């Protein structure tokens, strides 16, 4: 990795971000990063604790003369989404992120960058480390496993945190203040199949959908990017209906909260139909590329000759799997009436895999309206139940209801306008910020979410705007200085 990042300003923030990129920290594999942050706090001589679920809390006393200010909690999450391009060799459990400067942006070579939420964590660490920042009583609260279950936020105990104002440092557009977010639920489906013999007179192919942009299933869902699992289901439906295609296995996506960029299926085709199918596939590729040309210019669909599988999925279950995947809703379901331009309800068909006589999948349902989420959940249950699948829902987390009368919101609105000559936008986000969960445990908190500009989080195209990081830092420092007294 290029150490040129260490020459950027603010120096403390970028130094800490560089350190974070050197420590593997995919969700569910956070031991090293947890110990690093814990040791960081202890090395500064600050009270540092790990709670029973693996969150880290570091307390810094108020600056002299500011002890009477309301206590502030700076909050972020330690884990990152592990996504890489198909041709990139990278082990997220062992390898550092290879980040570099490209013009006015920080990027990573072929992988996610981890700016989500590494920049927020680095900023909080920089505040702890800095000796020239004025602030009242301060806590830094770094949660575990945000990306795959919000385990840390759900596990925090009431009373362990002392502050009155929460600044969540996990949004992705500088100049925007977030005061609300969507809630979500995981939908998990499984098809159990019997195996059938591979008939004579067939050839095997691996059908591949690749070259999609992917992205965050909440933040980017309104961009209407292609979903590789949905595209693959369209191909399989046509192949099964018209060309006698038989299915051996399916794979697609890797995370419920990332729009799947690549998917594949191992199939066999009768010899007499293979040429017609391949011709149809080429035609369908052109149709889909034309439909998605504005958002997916590098989409590729192809069938590569393959070794014949040992067995196939039985025909009845194959039909049910293909029909359910094709019928499953995906993408934006409804836009908000109250906040124009905001997605209210959506679903991402994010994961598909075959293992041990099972086809397994996962969706993520989001909504800022709980009854709308339940309605969508019922719809998904109906689709997969009719197809004979087992369908369960878990990991529900609540949304964060906006409070336009928030005192810290008005403070930060006035402060941003004075500093940068324009008002910041006040928004809610169609993603699962931890504020909704944390607010359930600490209902008296006044909460705002803020951050620098990060584009395409949860995908290898993730990048962070350098200038926005500077502005975010200056704004954060000024906010801490101007927190009101108790």
Give the per-residue pLDDT at 3.
Answer: 83
- Name all domains of the chain by residue range, CATH numbers in brackets: 3-182+399-481 (3.40.630.10), 185-397 (3.30.70.360)
Give the per-residue pLDDT at 399.
Answer: 86
For residue 26, the 8-state DSSP code is B
CA torsion, ordered 69, 47, 170, 255, to nearest 10 deg: -160
Residue 2 clears pLDDT 70, i.e. is over it: no
Q: What percent of the chain has pLDDT over 70?
A: 100
The strand order across the sheet containing 105-108 reads 99-102, 105-108, 463-465, 454-455
> Catalytic one among 30, 79, 164, 461?
79
In Å, how far are 1, 2, 43, 77, 213 from 120, measured between CA atoms?
20, 21, 20, 8, 24
Q: What is the reported pTM? A: 0.77
All residues at 6 or more sequence positions from 251 whose CB lies less than 8 Å from its CB, including other chains: 263, 264, 265, 352, 353, 354
Give the per-residue pLDDT at 397.
Answer: 87
Phi-psi region for residue 238, left (φ > 0), alpha (ψ -120 to 50) or beta?
alpha
Query: Which DSSP string do the residues of 271-313 spell out, in sequence order?
Result: HHHHHHHHHHHHHHHHHHHHHTTTT-TT-EEEEEEEPPPS-EE
- Spatial distance between the Cα atoms of 4 and 16, rounded to a whole number of angstroms: 13
Give the chain's length: 486
- Spatial distance between the Cα atoms of 293 and 224, rounded to a whole number of angstroms: 11
Residue 196 clears pLDDT 70, i.e. is over it: yes
Buried b (16+ CB within 10 A) or exposed e, 109-128: bebbbbbbbbbbbbbbbbbb
Q: Identify the band that residue 401 occupies on the pLDDT scale cut at 50, 70 and 90.
A: confident
Smallest Cα–Cα separation from 188: which of 352, 332, 329, 379?
A: 352
Classify the C-alpha dihedral 118-120-124-126 as positive or negative. positive
Smallest Cα–Cα separation from 11: which of 107, 103, 105, 125?
A: 125
Active site residue 146: yes
* Cβ pair 74, 124 in contact under 8 A: yes
| DSSP H/E element including 101 | strand 99-102
Q: What is the mean pLDDT of residues 430-434?
A: 88
Per-residue pLDDT tens for 296-313?
999 999 999 999 999 999
Active site residue 116: no
Q: What is the mean pLDDT of residues 398-421?
A: 94
Residue 347 clears pLDDT 70, i.e. is over it: yes
Residue 146 clears pLDDT 60, i.e. is over it: yes
Residue 23 clears pLDDT 50, i.e. is over it: yes
Residue 339 clears pLDDT 90, i.e. is over it: no
Per-residue pLDDT tens for 228-263?
999 999 999 999 999 999 999 999 998 899 999 999
- Spatial distance between the Cα atoms of 462 and 459, rounded to a whole number of angstroms: 6
> Catalytic one among 139, 145, 146, 147?
146
Q: Give me the chain's average pLDDT, please.
A: 96
Give the per-residue pLDDT at 1.
Answer: 47
Q: What percent of the chain has pLDDT over 90?
A: 91
- The H-assigned helical ranges of 74-195 are 115-129, 151-155
Q: Identify the band that residue 481 occupies on the pLDDT scale cut at 50, 70 and 90.
A: very high
């Amino acid at each position: 990795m290029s150490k040129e990042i260490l020459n950027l300003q603010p120096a403390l923030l970028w130094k800490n971000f560089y350190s974070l990129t050197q420590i593997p920290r995919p969700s569910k594999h956070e031991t090293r990063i947890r110990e690093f942050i814990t040791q960081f706090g202890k090395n500064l001589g600050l009270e540092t604790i790990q709670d029973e679920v693996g969150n880290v809390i570091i307390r810094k006393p108020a600056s002299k003369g500011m002890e009477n200010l309301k206590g502030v909690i700076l909050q972020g999450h330690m884990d990152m989404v592990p996504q890489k391009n198909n041709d990139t060799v990278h082990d997220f459990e062992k390898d550092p992120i290879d980040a570099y400067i490209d013009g006015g942006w920080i990027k990573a070579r072929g992988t996610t960058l981890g700016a989500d939420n590494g920049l927020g964590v680095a900023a909080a660490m920089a505040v702890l480390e800095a000796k020239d920042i004025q602030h009242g009583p301060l806590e830094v609260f770094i949660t575990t496993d945000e990306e795959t279950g919000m385990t840390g936020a759900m596990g925090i105990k009431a009373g362990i945190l002392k502050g009155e104002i929460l600044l969540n440092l996990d949004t992705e557009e500088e100049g925007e203040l977030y005061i609300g977010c969507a809630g979500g639920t995981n939908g998990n489906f499984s098809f159990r199949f019997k195996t059938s013999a591979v008939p004579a007179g067939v050839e095997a192919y691996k059908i591949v959908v690749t070259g999609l942009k992917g992205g965050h299933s909440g933040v980017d869902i309104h961009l209407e990017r292609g979903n590789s699992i949905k595209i693959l289901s369209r191909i399989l439906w046509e192949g099964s209906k018209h060309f006698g295609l038989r299915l051996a296995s399916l794979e697609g996506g890797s995370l419920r909260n990332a729009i799947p960029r690549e998917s594949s299926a191992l199939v066999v085709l009768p010899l007499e139909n293979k040429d017609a199918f391949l011709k149809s596939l080429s035609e369908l590729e052109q149709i889909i590329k034309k439909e998605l040309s504005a958002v997916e210019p590098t989409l590729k669909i192809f069938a590569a000759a393959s070794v014949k599988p040992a067995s196939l999925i039985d025909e009845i279950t194959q039909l049910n799997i293909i029909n359910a995947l094709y019928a499953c809703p995906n993408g934006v379901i409804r836009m908000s009436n109250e906040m124009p331009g905001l997605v209210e309800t959506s679903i991402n068909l994010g994961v598909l895999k075959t293992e041990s006589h099972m086809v397994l999948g996962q969706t993520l349902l989001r909504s800022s309206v709980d009854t709308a989420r339940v309605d969508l959940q019922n719809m998904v249950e109906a689709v997969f139940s009719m197809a004979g699948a087992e369908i369960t829902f878990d990991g529900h987390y609540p949304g964060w209801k906006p409070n336009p009368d928030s005192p810290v919101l008005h403070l930060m609105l006035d402060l941003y306008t004075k500093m940068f000559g324009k008002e910041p936008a006040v928004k809610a986000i169609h993603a699962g910020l931890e504020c909704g969960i944390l607010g359930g445990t600490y209902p008296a908190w006044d909460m705002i979410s803020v951050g620098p500009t990060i584009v395409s989080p949860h995908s290898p195209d993730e990048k962070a705007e350098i200038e926005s990081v500077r502005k975010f830092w200056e704004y954060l420092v000024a906010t801490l200085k101007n927190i009101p007294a108790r």
